[in-house]
Amino acid sequence: MWRLVACIQLMRIITIFRPHVLHLNQTGYLRIATYATMLFRLPVASHLRLLCDARYLATFKQLPKNLKAFVCVSRFMKRKLQEQTDSKGVEIRVIYDPFKSPESKKSRILQKNPKNPEEIICAGRLAKEKGQEILIRAVKELEQTHWHIRCRILGAPGPGDESHAANLKQLVSALGLNELITFEGFIDDVLPLYRTATAVVCPSYAESLGRTALEAWVAGALPIGWQGSGGLAEIVSDSGGGILYEKQAGSDLAAALRHVIGLSHDERRRMIDEGRTWMEQHCDAEKCATAMSIIWSRCTE
């Protein structure tokens, strides 16, 4: 019923505003948009931001004829799209999401105080696919070899993830890490915390883009991620602005953390600056808007 209501509302909006192109910010609305635009013969462009949207496209026997373009937030998402559906005849472009720091300028890259513990931060929903268990086991390995560290896990479980979140906390207790690892819940503004971090770890199994890396660079921190994580691994590898570990295992992540901790201030600054340069080149709002305008123009040809 809600789909019918949404379709009627969208048709009403199209009737009032008479757009030349309908752009979907999320591909999950494609079926509703298809029905709503049929009578108007309105071309459609769609953003592919989420992994679930790529899987959703696999339910289409054939893509709508008025679907003219997909905008993917990474090359990884473009590959996922092409794996899930026959997109022949549909233009596919990769445009990284624009990102602008809420601060007026990027944070200064702080000099580490050797007397303080190395602070590791991980922000994200508490869910199995986010890989926090890998980080917990990496911290245990570092603790066993007497590294002076502190780990802060930011985030809350989503619907259905409550039991997994409880299991993570039980694992921390079982490994005797309650003094080294804290769970701090959802925090809206993570940048102040990132500023003092030695590393920002994203141990996810898959990320469509990897906003964590962008936030880390702005805050003056180094991102660490798994090399098989998709969009996150893509931007860290392309930029040279972070560290990727090979296997999704605590021992590999621990080795990556040791490497980051051992970097000199100049080495850290160089890598963070490379990440910031990549971000300025690919996530500039004006450049993204220009690229989107070109796509919309082609949709009407």
Q: How does pLDDT run across 127-184, given as a tens digit for each residue?
A: 999 999 999 999 999 999 888 899 999 999 999 999 999 999 999 999 999 999 999 9
Estimate the crossing angle of helix 30-37 against helix 2-17, to 10 degrees: 50
Q: What is the pLDDT of residue 21?
A: 96
Q: What is the pLDDT of residue 104?
A: 43
Average pLDDT over residues 20-49: 93
Question: What structural domains does the chain harbor?
Answer: 17-98+284-299 (no CATH), 118-282 (3.40.50.2000)
Q: Could you give the percent of the chain with pLDDT greater than 70? A: 95
Q: Is residue 247 predicted with pLDDT exceeding 60?
A: yes
Is residue 151 left, alpha or beta, with left meaning phi > 0 and alpha meaning psi from -120 to 50? beta
Beta strand extents in 131-260 (DSSP E only): 149-154, 181-183, 199-202, 222-226, 243-245
The span from the CA of 219 to the CA of 110, in Å, is 10
The amino acid present at 243, given as its one-letter code, is I
The span from the CA of 49 to the CA of 72, in Å, is 6
Q: What is the pLDDT of residue 285?
A: 93
Q: What is the pLDDT of residue 1?
A: 79
DSSP 103-127: SSSPPP-PPP-TTSPEEEEEES--S
The span from the CA of 6 to the CA of 44, in Å, is 17
Q: Is residue 201 predicted with pLDDT exceeding 70?
A: yes
Q: Which phi and psi angles does 51 have, rounded to 5°? A: -65, -35
Q: What is the pLDDT of residue 105?
A: 52
Q: What is the pLDDT of residue 12?
A: 94
